[in-house]
């Protein structure tokens, strides 16, 4: 009987910890998305130019490294807002580029809506079903590596067909990562809400940019 009581108590504590992690992660994610939207809007309305890709890469990797080291300190929140704000600002010129196309406003709005629906739908499914999607980890890591390497290669080859394939695979990979990361929070694979916020933010950010390219490609074909 005592063992059963201890087991039930342990189960309740685990459920409370999971709910707290989910609540804190989604609260911080909402705030960072709003802040990112603000910095993107500033870049759009000021017609900001593209940031040098080398500088952008150094800033992002440096901030991610600092976040990893400071994830349990008071510096984690300022760093996560800096990171998401920077990515939002760098997204502004990209959105401006699409807005300059025919039906550009519709393309951006549709990509934004699809990103939101995909994220909310997949997150809700992972939470309600309580399924463990950890088995997807190897496949998703392989897909992510393929997307990154193909993207680097396409910088030199500049092949529209390759970019279209990268975007299509990227949509699948980052959608899968939303399921995977949400499952990690539910099943104890992650405990730090700041790092989970960054992970989910990057999934949403990349899913949005991939959808932008796919929709613009289909629109131009029409």
pLDDT tens, residue by residue, 24-69: 999 999 999 999 999 999 999 999 999 888 899 899 999 999 999 9
Q: Which domain holds residue 92?
A: 2-221
Section 167-177 average pLDDT: 94
Q: How many domains does the chain have?
A: 1
Average pLDDT over the chain reads 89
pLDDT tens, residue by residue, 91-103: 999 999 999 888 8
Q: What is the 3-state secondary structure (H, E, C) of the chain?
A: CHHHHHHHHHHHHHHHHHHHHHHHHHHHHHHHHHHHHHHHHHHHHCCCCCCCHHHHHHHHHHHHHHHHHCCCCCCHHHHHHHHHHHHHHHHHHHHHHHHCCCCHHHHHHHHHHHHHHHHHHHHHHHHHHCCCCHHHHHHHHHHHHHHHHHHHHHHHHCCHHHHHHHHHHHHHHHHHHHHHHHHHHHCCCCCCHHHHHHHHHHHHHHHHHHHHHHHHHHHHHC
The model carries a pTM of 0.90
């Amino acid at each position: 009987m005592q063992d059963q009581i201890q087991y039930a108590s342990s189960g309740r504590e685990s459920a409370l910890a999971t709910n707290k992690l989910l609540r804190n992660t989604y609260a911080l994610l909402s705030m960072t998305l709003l802040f990112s939207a603000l910095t993107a809007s500033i870049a759009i309305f000021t017609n900001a130019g593209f940031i040098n890709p080398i500088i952008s890469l150094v800033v992002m990797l440096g901030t991610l490294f600092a976040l990893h080291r400071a994830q349990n300190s008071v510096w984690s929140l300022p760093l996560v807002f800096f990171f998401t704000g920077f990515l939002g600002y760098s997204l502004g010129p990209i959105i401006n580029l699409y807005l300059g196309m025919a039906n550009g406003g519709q393309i951006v709005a549709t990509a934004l809506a699809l990103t939101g629906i995909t994220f909310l739908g997949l997150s809700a499914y992972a939470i309600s079903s309580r399924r463990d999607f950890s088995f997807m980890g190897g496949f998703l890591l392989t897909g992510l590596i393929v997307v990154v390497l193909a993207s680097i290669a396409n910088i030199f080859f500049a092949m529209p067909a390759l970019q279209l394939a990268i975007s299509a695979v990227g949509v699948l990979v980052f959608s899968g990562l939303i399921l995977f990361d949400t499952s990690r929070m539910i099943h104890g694979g992650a405990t730090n809400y700041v790092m989970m916020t960054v992970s989910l933010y990057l999934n949403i950010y990349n899913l949005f940019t991939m959808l932008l390219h796919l929709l613009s490609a289909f629109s131009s074909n029409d």
